[in-house]
Amino acid sequence: MNSPNPSDPWARLTRAARSAPARQDETVPFGFATRVVARAAEVSGGGRSFVEKFAFRAVAVAALLALGSVGLELTQTSSPRATAQPTEATADDALSALVNA
């Protein structure tokens, strides 16, 4: 491996970083998070992106479809249906059906 050139900026920076004293109690300055969020809002322009607009519309359409399907199901289950009442078949009925067949 080639040894780095002493005048190389990367070599000087890494040498300086190795010789720097380690600090243990680094804390974030007061209001740092607020400034970061404010700058992020400035960069993005504060508007919604193309994908976000369609995502919100998709959620609204899905909610309407879900409500519509629930309403349709409730109307179908609450309306009286003509259902055939099952009759009880006895062994005598089954036997007479077999004999008559």
Encode pLDDT of 46-90 as tens digits: 566 778 878 989 999 999 999 999 998 888 877 665 555 556 667
pTM comes to 0.33
Is 2 within a domain?
A: no
Is 24 within a domain?
A: no
Cα–Cα distance, 37 to 42 (Å, whole number): 9
Is 97 within a domain?
A: no
Is 98 within a domain?
A: no
Query: Please, how many CA atoms are within 13 Å of residue 39, restricted to the half-sphere of its CB?
Result: 6
| Per-chain mean pLDDT for the chain | 78
Which amino acid makes up residue 14? T
Is 72 within a domain?
A: yes
Q: Give the helix ranges, DSSP H, for the chain.
A: 9-19, 32-44, 50-78, 91-100
Count up the domains in the chain and report the number: 1
Given this model, what pLDDT does residue 2 score?
Answer: 61
Given this model, what pLDDT does residue 1 score?
Answer: 52
Task: Decide if 4 contacts 10 (C-beta within 8 A).
Answer: yes
* Domain encompassing residue 72: 48-78
Is 10 within a domain?
A: no
